[in-house]
Chain A
Amino acid sequence: MRKLMDFKILALCLGALSTASVSAAGDAAAGHAKAFACMGCHGVPSYTNVYPTYHVPKLGGQHAQYLVTALTEYKNGQRSHTTMHAQAASLSEQDIEDIAAYFEAAKD
């Protein structure tokens, strides 16, 4: 019984921690894993969008705050781009924070 109580307290503490981390800055290491799909386009130096044709933007070193805004707008449909909407739609707020933190810290 005592052990169960300890476990409950631990669970409560962990719950409080994870809730706090939602609003905290992103985790670049977690973002690295979550950014795998992004790299298919944004990790290829010469990659271009088609119709209209332009280079997909460089993201390495970009401000995380701006990237969070961009991804959130793609997710919500405020910024329109079919591929980016499809990619961003399934991301949670924490995913977006983590991915943004990864690209802000990313070097070539």
Chain B
Amino acid sequence: MKTSALIVLGLALIGVSNLAHAAGDAAAGKQKSATCTACHGADGNSTDPQYPRLAGQHASYLERALLDYQSGARKNPIMAAFAAPLSGTDIADLTAYFSSQTGLVTPVLPRLVPR
């Protein structure tokens, strides 16, 4: 019993540490976001439906997207050019800013969770 509790705690800590990216500064991110907002919207809710909404998106997902654009793992000529010059701090700040906005939600399956 004790061992399994420790394993659960250990796994939980691994999970936390893996997601604990350098905490970004949302205010600094706002200062750096002028290029992004031209397509993704001033409040992260793009009006042109070909560009994804970023408002409220998980910071860790946005970070993965920017890192994949930098490495070429995710291919998009426009985003590759914008992501290329970003430092780790820039990415942390920008993703902190967009994730702090209001927009996207996680839909909950109505079949399982009564409203």
- Chain A residues engaging chain B, CB cutoff 8 angstroms: 36, 39, 42-45, 48-49, 52-66, 69, 78-80, 103, 106-108
Shortest distance between the CB of A46 and any CB in chain B (Å): 9
A-B contact count (CB 8 A): 88
Assess whether A58 is in contact with B52, with CB atoms less than 8 Å apart. no
Q: Is the interface of A mostly helix, strand, loop or mixed?
A: loop
In the assembled complex, which residues on chain B have CB atoms less than 8 Å from the CB atom of A107? 105, 107
A55, A63, A79, A106: the one within 8 Å of B53 (CB)? A63
Shortest distance between the CB of A30 and any CB in chain B (Å): 15
- Chain B interface size band reads 20 to 34
Instruction: From known contacts A66-B49, A66-B50, infer whether A60 and B60 are also in contact, taking CB-CB under 8 Å.
Output: no
Instruction: From known contacts A63-B46, A64-B49, A79-B74, infer whether A55 and B105 are also in contact, taking CB-CB under 8 Å.
Output: no
In the assembled complex, which residues on chain A have CB atoms less than 8 Å from the CB atom of B63? 54
Known: A52-B64, A57-B61, A63-B50. 16 other contacts (CB 8 A): A45-B108, A48-B15, A53-B15, A53-B18, A53-B60, A54-B19, A54-B63, A57-B104, A58-B61, A58-B105, A59-B104, A62-B104, A64-B49, A65-B49, A107-B105, A108-B107
Assess whether B49 is in contact with A54, with CB atoms less than 8 Å apart. no
